[in-house]
Structure 1
Amino acid sequence: MVKPPDPDGGAAGKRTYAPDFLTELFQNPLDPGYADAAARRAKEGPRTGARRGLATGSAALTLVVIGFLLVFAYRQTVDEEPARTQARDALIAQVQTRRDGTERLRQQADRLADEVATLRDNELGGAAVARLRDLEAVTGVAKVRGSGARITLVDGPTSVNAVTGERRTEAQVKDTDLQLAANALWEAGAEAIMINGQRLTATSRIRQAGEAILVDIRPVGSPYEVVAIGPDDLADDFRDGYAGEFFETLSDRFGISFETAEAEDVTLEAAADFKLRSAEPSVAPSPSGSSKVSSGAGSPAPDSSVTEGGR
């Protein structure tokens, strides 16, 4: 037994201290519990066969119960799998059916639109048809073809905060970046613009929804391709202007990929689900009821404001 230290040193004429932890560990390496177990075994004697058999039987019963539970869980999983598979297949079939129905309706709408356009052209004169075609091209109602510029933006590498686990989105292209690109192209003389297949009109919206970017309520993702039809020097003017400098800064600071190139002989499809907001006759109605109608569309620039604020 280790004696407590003598504060006054009266026992041996000087102060004594208990050994430190490491010294005591080396002097008594055996845990006291082992010594107690050995003493109890020496007093009570070794285990009898009945006690050993009882312990073995308890262990075997425990293993049997665990095995039964595992088998029961496996059978439940196997029995429920066909039901889940059938429900999944039914949902997939339903989605495919709805998709096919939507495609048929879209094709029918396109055929009806072509019939309406044919009837309209037959009723209007040549000059009115040409003016209407120009208005349709400017407003995005009709598809256009020509040359211009192609702007490509790609998200940079996304990092994760090692402490909080939060994803950093500074290197992701934002809605304000696409707004900036579109407005700069309009200012440089673009006549028609399309972002990832979505044609911009006078009422287009470019908005952020979480980490997704919506162009007229349709999601677009990286890489973002902005194609514009306009003057021959459209790509150079964009690259040398304020928008080009802004994207070069984003590329250097956050790793966002930015590329500007000329677009030769590209076709921009008409805007989907474009609705006529207002219309007025260009001439007074005739007694027969026939009149010439012009589209009441405004500026081709999308209705969005852009600021070069922080990300």
Structure 2
Amino acid sequence: MQSIQWDGNQIATPGAYRGIPLAVYHRPDLCVEVSTSSSFYRNLNKSPAHAFERSRFNPAHVDDAEQSESMALGRFVHAAVAGEPFDHDCVLRPATVGGVAYQGNRKEWRDWKAAQIAAGKYIMTPEMVERAKGMIVALGKFPLVQQGILGGAPERSLIWRNKYGFFEKARPDDTPNDSGDFVDLKTTKSVAWRDLQKAIVEYGYVQQAALVMEGATALGLPATSFTFLFVESNAPFCVRAVTMKDEDIARGHALNELARKTFLQCYQSKHWPGPGDDHADAEYIDLPDWYRKSVDDRVKFALRENP
């Protein structure tokens, strides 16, 4: 795979780019025309209003002042696996700032934290670094990792123009050199089967996988499968690799296509409706089937507690 070194300017030519900082990658003006990514499409699942509020399409958008521990930990592990130096986009929280030991509510520490986030840095505590080491060691011992599952090009930004005329972006953790088998590394609380299924649904990972494969196809790269490599963020740091089935990737493609149409309609009309804005009157709402059955069983058998 031939990749293009990003020159710091807006992108006009589709391709697989290297060297684009993560914070820059997420900007809608990275390309000479408007661009979208998987994270925006997945936010559309809640509603256009929610997606717009959190996006840089919103002129009043304000970057989050907070930064979750899971975000920082995940970013550190991703950078380490990609072979990047610690200070590439992470920073270790010092013992003191301005001679003041750590106190999150002190002005010195609030200002320091705000400066790091503004600079695109993810803050790591010594305890988080130790956990990250455990995750990296566990990954290194995992058979598929030893066999080279992460042996492709790390963190390439795939950028292409879709059939509607606007740019799309995808950023797989590992772009294969010739196999077409894409891999994305995810940190998680648990690699138990049900927990992974829940995470894939909750975070819209199937849309992310589908968009990567769409981008690869648009750029003439082989795209045959998509595997998530999950590692737990706490001891014992278990690792599990799961490959998405073709029929579910197809569902991700369908959701992405729906998101494209929704985005284009909202972007052109400058109207980003919320979940209930399309209904002038009150709507009927159904109890979920699982709860209906629970109630029916409880009444039928005169149970004192929910079954």
Shorter-normalised TM-score: what interval? under 0.3
Under a length normalisation based on structure 2, what TM-score does the superposition of the two structures give? 0.23
Whose helix fraction is larger, Structure 1's or Structure 2's?
1
Under a length normalisation based on structure 1, what TM-score does the superposition of the two structures give? 0.23
Q: Could you say which structure has the larger radius of gyration?
A: 1
